[in-house]
Amino acid sequence: MDVGALISRARHEAGLTQLELAQRAGVSRFAISHYEKGRRLPTLGALRAVLAAAGKQLHAELEPLDADVRRAMARVAASPIEDRPAVQYGNSLHEYVAPDHRVEGVAAAQLLGAPVPVDHLDIAVADLPAACEALARRVQMLGPKISVKRNTWPFYSCPGAWPGVTDHDVADAGARLRDLLRQQCPDDSFWMVSARHWARVRLVPPADVARYVEVVLPAGVVRVAPLHEIESTDPRVSRVPRVLRDDAGATRPG
């Protein structure tokens, strides 16, 4: 049960603001905000009081474990794959990275059918000269902006290669870009943005991106981390890959 969504729905159906609902329930507006955003879970008594303030009451039924996740997965499977935010982000960003990469994290789970929220891509790229050369080719064109952190200014005078230059020039620009990333990003990760679509990119040993599954999208095939390697610290998200893994294991021949 998504308690935050339940409270938000009850409040909207009652036509109340967060402050009005809080006053009726005898709690602070910040408590209502935290409940709805999933930052805090109310006690059962507090939940009943908040719902009652919105003219609702809690009705509980037993159902098979993870049935809610499977219903949400079924809704995702029934909708066009191009409607998934991870697909839209991938369409904007995947052409800017070298072929030896894979999508990871929550975005990978969504591409594999998980009903999870996505507001950026996590991309692991093999730390080879081709990775920075691919970015350098795009920096001087209408390619992505690169920065140390999300929503910060991009690198000043980022090395790039203009169209029509020699392969040697591209290699040189790629090497200078790699040196800049070593200086500014000691963990070998950085952010890039194109058309307001963000990606967190990690430069990793080539072996780390050799394990992947392929997802067929309208714009082509994307490499995605296998289910058993997808993890999240968000409990609302981590449960979904587990159900996907359980279902995949149940259908695998013995």
Superfamily of domain 3-53: lambda repressor-like DNA-binding domains (1.10.260.40)
Question: pLDDT tens digit string along 71-102?
Answer: 888 888 888 888 898 998 888 787 788 889 99
The pLDDT of residue 234 is 64
The pLDDT of residue 248 is 74
Cα–Cα distance for residue pair 42/237, rounded to 1 Å: 19
Question: pLDDT tens digit string along 128-158?
Answer: 999 998 888 876 556 788 899 998 888 877 8
| 213-217 sheet: strands from edge to edge | 145-147, 189-194, 197-204, 121-126, 101-104, 220-224, 213-217
Q: State the span(s) of the chain assigned CATH 1.10.260.40.
A: 3-53
- Please give the chain's pLDDT, 254 residues, in tens: 688 889 999 999 999 999 999 999 999 999 999 999 888 889 999 999 999 999 999 887 777 778 888 888 888 888 888 889 899 888 878 778 888 999 998 899 899 888 888 889 999 999 999 999 888 887 655 678 889 999 888 887 788 777 778 889 889 989 999 999 999 998 999 998 888 889 999 999 999 999 999 998 877 889 999 888 887 766 666 777 778 778 777 665 55
Cα–Cα distance for residue pair 144/146, rounded to 1 Å: 6
The pLDDT of residue 136 is 84
C-alpha angle 198/226/80, rounded to 5°? 60
